[in-house]
Chains A and B, each alone.
Chain A
Amino acid sequence: MTPEQRESRVGGLAKVYGLAIPRQPTGGVIGQMLGSAVGNSLEFQDHRTYSPGDDPRHIDWSAYARTDQLTVRLYREEVSPRLEVVVDASASMATGGKGELLRSLLLLLVRLADKGRAAPVLWEIGERIEPVRHDLAAAIDRLELRGAAALAEQLAAAPIGFAPRSMRLVVSDFLFPHDADAIVRRVADRAASLAMVQLLTAEEDRPTVGRPAKLVDVESGEFLDVTMDPPAVRRYRDRLTALQTGLARAVRRAAGTFVTIVDTMSLADACRDVLTPAGVLEVR
């Protein structure tokens, strides 16, 4: 798919969907968006009992006069959310249709972030870790999916300078040996929200029962002779399910969302059937 075609398709979806803003306070400077939390905007939201440390400017003096209770007025917070997308740029993300689906998803997230004035940052976790803050569309086109190191190793190797209270979204196939809690701890640290999207090919999701094959790992080059008979495929499926369950549990502990998208789905189907129900996107 050419960048123009991808842009055209993503543009249509960007008119329909928007990023779901988390209820926890989001980071960033005071902005134009109204956050779910209370803040300093002029839009009144509610009252509550004063607590030490509250801004005295928000004490409702008239209510104090009436009730002799210190009450503060709560205003909706105006926030400028930040979206940080962590991309697994290893070679395994290029198998099957994952590469194209990944680029389309990233472009959609960037467009939605732009629309919501949420400054997007792209963290490419490939051979090296580098943030991309400008001209993200071009960076997505240039994205090279040929890293040999697993995402877990890269995350563990060096701390990533995530912005506090940013919205974090991790895209990977997670098909590498890992400790789900450790990964989640890394990417959920001081995050306003966390979503982890697993991209799989259909064959990775449900391998075809057939003749034996020499399975070659695209990243390490290691191989195995495997008889892909029904028992073997069933055991693979069990292990994959366990992997997904572990990730989902770890993400849920961090109040995040874990979803799986198979490359046979179109991006529109993925938005409608997976990302929106999971609260990653919302219909505008």
Chain B
Amino acid sequence: MFFANPWGLLALFALPAIAAIHFLRRRFMPQRIAGLFLWADEVRQRPSGRRWDRLPISASLILELLAALLFALLLADLRFGKPAEVEHLVLVLDATASMSAGDPAEPGKKVRDKVADAVLVEVARLSAGGRVTLLATGEPPKALYGPAAPAAPIAAVRAALDAWRPTLPDHAPDPALALGRQLVGDRGHVIFMTDRLSSQGVVGVTYRAFGLPLANVGFIAGRREADPDPKVVAGSRCFVRLRNFSLAPASVELTARTTDGDTREVARETIRLDGRAEWSRTIALPANTPAIRFTLSDDALAADNELILAPESSKKVRYRADLAPGPVQRAIGKAMGSIRDTVAAAPGEPADLVFQPATKAIDRADGRAWRVLLGPVPQPRSPRAPTTRPEITTDGPFTLDHAAAVVRDVAFEGVILGRVGASPGQPVAPVISAGDRIVLGRLTESPVPAWLLNADPDPASSTLIHSEDWVILLANLVQLRREAMPGLDDRNTRLGESVSIPLPESPAKPALTLVPPTGPSSDIPWPRGDVLILDDLASSGRWSLRADGKEIETFAVNMLDERESDLTGAASGEVAAAQAGLGRMLVTDAPGRDWLIALLIAATAAAILGNWWVVRQGTGGGVTSQARTFGPAAKRTD
């Protein structure tokens, strides 16, 4: 007999506590009497103070001690038998997509199937009482079975293996191996089941590979353009690229079908590829074509034979220049016209990006539109600062905060800026500075995102609008604005990439539902900041996001992982651990017995109820709130 949770025995401290309570309580059991003086000598006769009296054994005391003892046994998880050392087998399974590869000539014998068979053999080898932990690689690793779960029945292990689908892109197995080694500690080692062999042994980890070098052709890239303005161009284009990863020539059939209800065939072509050759094609699509599914004829790896390209919808940025007609206004119109997916808004029309003089206050009528304030901020005059620093003209050197996306690829070389103001007059986070003067910055206390160009862009005093930095600056601003607008920028992503979805403004903030290509949906709370970031998309295919049951976004996830598609490096064999553990033993205990737990719970409850009854009856010496008087009123018979 032993205790699985010895800390629970701390509850035994309740026993002396209960005894002490009973011992002390009896001192204070009040009894209302007459003639106290007849007892007075009893106290005065004790020169040494209180006597050490025998603890009276009452029913309440016995029941309370019994309840505490049983409760302590429950907490300590009483077990019968002796702790034993059993084998603990930790198996780490490679969860990359290449594990789904298999020789087309041997259907049903993919690498994952061989791994599953090998796992079952290892588990069956375990002695009685053995424990198994199955981990799948990934970031973070995933426990498929266990940790340290009983190896029997083996059907449970088989069920866990059946549910295992290696679909992840290429990733390092190190986190899973580290976790496995942590689980076995110094007394065991880990077996890593994969399809490639390690070039050298790893401490505590045995590499066991089940892969075969196989020829494979797969998609390595795919992109779809947003449907342009139908008034300009009818339809769009998509681009696909595939590669033959083997040295031998290959012939595959490419098929493209729509994914809507009638699954129309868009393209079909037989492609012959030399060894290690690539093939790419741009395919024109009619307007409003739904998502296209490209498939290749079967080969060793099915995961890279499918490519889904969802229609991209560009988020057009509407801009408005609330500036006096002149060269600056024209320069803005010209630059914005060269940036894709921008639309000029007429004066008074709503816009996403508004250019306005810095001298003009931000008009809240434009709602959440971003503002670009142009020109130096006039210096306020006050009695405390009667003199102001003059505006200057500078050609640098300029200091750029390259961490800010708005100055990405901006150099500001050779630019001359005129009328650079001394102080913006309000809190600004500088992005471009010249000496102690802020040239470009973001207003930090503005109710809407706003940027300040603290110089006069007029060509009469500056060369900015004639520099290439001008267009790049505006393009970056447009891109930032576009990213902040609701909806996905790119609806076709790679497996393993995170997807960031700006959500539309919704005061109700309903619960979101993420619908994967296969498997059950999952509910997601509305994210803070109205931007949903999905970074654990583990399967390729078409995903959708719903709010209140209505689809608000859809996107495609494709494998497009050259390292996983290249099966020529796959191998089989075993590389022993560089430093094997002392064994693979796990100190475990005898299994808990449900009937014993139920018995302890029932006995504890019975003791508690019994004590409650005894105390309620006032016969067990328990604490009663009312004082007792000597001698109950006798029943009279007259």
Q: Which residues of A approach B to under 8 Å, CB–CB?
A: 1, 9, 12-13, 91-93, 95-97, 100, 173, 175-177, 201-204, 207, 210-220, 222-227, 232, 235-236, 239-240, 243, 263-269
Contacts and interface: CB of A to CB of B under 8 A. Distances in A.
A21 B395 CA distance: 138
Interface string B576-597: 0000000000000000000000
Given A9-B638, A236-B39, 16 more contacts: A12-B638, A93-B34, A95-B630, A96-B632, A173-B35, A175-B35, A175-B38, A176-B37, A211-B56, A212-B29, A224-B36, A225-B50, A236-B42, A239-B38, A263-B634, A265-B634
A216 B627 contact: yes
A267 B34 contact: no
B29 A95 contact: no
Contacts of B627: 216
Contacts, number: 134
Q: How large is the interface on B (under 10, 10 to 19, 20 to 34, 35 or more residues)?
A: 20 to 34
Given A13-B638, A224-B42, A215 B53 contact: no
Contacts of A240: 35, 38
Contacts of A201: 629-631
Contacts of A12: 638
Contacts of B33: 95, 203-204, 215-218
Contact of A224 (B39, B51, B631, B638): B39
B634 A215 contact: no
Contact of A226 (B32, B43, B636): B43
A268 B35 contact: no
B39 A227 contact: no
A177 B629 CA distance: 20
5 contacts: A95-B33, A100-B636, A173-B34, A215-B36, A225-B50
Contacts of B387: none
Interface in B40-54: 40-43, 50-51, 53
Contacts of B27: 212, 214, 225
B40 A268 contact: no
Contacts of B31: 213-216
B39 A226 contact: yes
A265 B37 CA distance: 25
Given A204-B33, A218-B32, A263-B631, A212 B26 contact: yes
Contacts of B30: 213-214, 216, 223
A215 B631 contact: no
Contact of A204 (B34, B37, B40, B634): B34
A225 B43 contact: yes
A204 B33 CA distance: 8
B633 interface: yes
B213 interface: no
Contacts of B634: 97, 202, 263-265
A121 B632 CA distance: 31
Contact of B34 (A214, A217, A264): A217
A175 B34 CA distance: 6
Contacts of B32: 95, 216-218
Contacts of A210: 56
A211 B60 CA distance: 14
B38 A203 contact: no
B592 to A, nearest CB: 41
A100 B632 CA distance: 12
Contact of B43 (A224, A243, A263, A267): A224
A214 B29 contact: yes
Contacts of A269: 638
Interface string B621-632: 100000101111
Nearest to A214: B30
Nearest to B28: A214
Given A212-B27, A226-B43, A207 B636 contact: no
Contacts of A265: 634
Contacts of B42: 224, 226-227, 232, 235-236
B637 interface: yes
B630 A96 contact: yes
Contact of B636 (A92, A219, A222, A267): A267
A239 B38 CA distance: 6
Contacts of A266: 636-638
Given A13-B638, A226-B42, A220 B36 contact: yes
B283 to A, nearest CB: 98
A95 B36 CA distance: 13
A221 to B, nearest CB: 10
Nearest to B31: A213
A52 to B, nearest CB: 53
